[in-house]
Amino acid sequence: MGGCTFCDIYKKPGRTEIIVRKSDHYVIFDKYPASKGHLLIISNKHYENMLETPNKTIISMMITSKMFGKLFMDRLDADGVKITTNIGAAANQVIMHTHIHVIPRYLPHKHKDFRPHEEILHNERAELRVRILRALKK
């Protein structure tokens, strides 16, 4: 499978962008986040979308999505969380490899300077990564 962004990330274990690794999926920051902390839960193996993915993997990815949703709500100042997956280009799926979006949502007065869908900066990613890993340990 050549040229799949998510397979490439998985195959390079040294890559620092991976926040959490599980037996059948991993977690990274969305490169063009819709909100501060926007995460992607990605299957380790290449499946085109959720419909092609074994139930066992979906369940385990959803458990991780829920865990991060709770983390955003309880420890990282989110006021809501959107958990979603896109299936097919018509539904705005961009990378054709199964992934679930976990998007924290904040009340309008928070993160006013945040620019949605602009590429996340290296230092922003590093700072968020530290906050999330710290919250995970609590």
Active site residues: 99
Of 53, 61, 58, 46, which Cα lies nearest the Cα of 97? 46
Footprint of Zn ion on residues 85-104 (CB under 5 A)?
Answer: 97
Nearest residue to Zn ion, using CB? 4
Question: Residue 36, interface with Zn ion (CB under 5 A)?
Answer: no
CA atoms within 13 A on the CB side of 3: 0
Footprint of Zn ion on residues 7-26 (CB under 5 A)?
Answer: 7
Q: How far is the CB of 2 from Zn ion (least distance, A)?
A: 10
* Residue 34 to residue 46: CA distance in whole angstroms: 24
Question: Residue 40, interface with Zn ion (CB under 5 A)?
Answer: no
H or E element, residue 103:
strand 99-105
Please give the residue ranges that form the binding site for Zn ion (CB under 5 A).
4, 6-7, 46, 97
